[in-house]
Chains A and B, each alone.
Chain A
Amino acid sequence: MTIEELVLKIQKALPGADVYAQDLTGAGNHFEAVVVSDALVGKSRLQRHRLVMDPFLEDMKGPLHALTIKTYTQEEWANV
């Protein structure tokens, strides 16, 4: 998986989200992503992670080993 593919998948699940992603190994199997979206307002941590992770359930069975994520609403992100 490439960074572009990863970002597009997240943005498809959360339209309009800002996604800042890094490929930690350079091998396309271990990513870190910061996801900023107001679709996350009022959601618990678990719900937020599920929303971001859901598009990757199939990928996680094979090529994708790890996806570390941090989630923020626009307001939270502005105050980081």
Chain B
Amino acid sequence: MTHEEALKAIDEQVKKQDLLVFMKGTTDFPMCGFSGRVVQIFRALGREPVGINVLENDALRNGVKEYSNWPTIPQIYVKGEFIGGCDITVEMAQSGELQKLLDEKLGPAKKA
């Protein structure tokens, strides 16, 4: 995968997925504590994110940092909008803003 192909693939996924996490590992087997934490937070709110494992591909791992202009993984997108990384997700979950944002953008969560 070339750099340009990676950026195009990232853009397609960002626009297509409602709740997207670029992460190290998968949602069922995160390979980094920060990535795992955001998946846990979304699941606790009754949301199942789509995870893209950036470890599968260097072009993807480097491409997403450039795409979002953000230096670290994980990176969270809701309905195509960049939310931030792990710290921001944790803060928003603690303040209740995250649940509000998800309800507004994606509709009510399914009962867990």
Contact = CB atoms under 8 A, between A and B. Distances in A.
26 contacts: A45-B84, A45-B88, A45-B91, A45-B92, A46-B82, A46-B83, A46-B84, A46-B88, A49-B84, A49-B85, A50-B69, A50-B70, A53-B70, A53-B71, A56-B71, A57-B71, A60-B71, A60-B72, A66-B34, A66-B72, A67-B72, A68-B86, A68-B87, A69-B87, A70-B87, A70-B91
Chain A, interface residues (CB within 8 Å), range: 10 to 19
Contacts of B92: 45
A68 B89 CA distance: 12
Contacts of A49: 84-85, 87-88
A67 B71 CA distance: 10
Contacts of A70: 87, 91
A60 B69 CA distance: 12
Interface string B22-49: 0000000000001000000000000000
B contacts with A: majority SS: mixed
Interface of A: 45-46, 49-50, 53, 56-57, 60-61, 66-70
Nearest to B32: A66
Contacts of A46: 82-84, 88
A66 B86 CA distance: 11
Contacts of A45: 84, 88, 91-92
A22 to B, nearest CB: 14
A53 B34 CA distance: 16
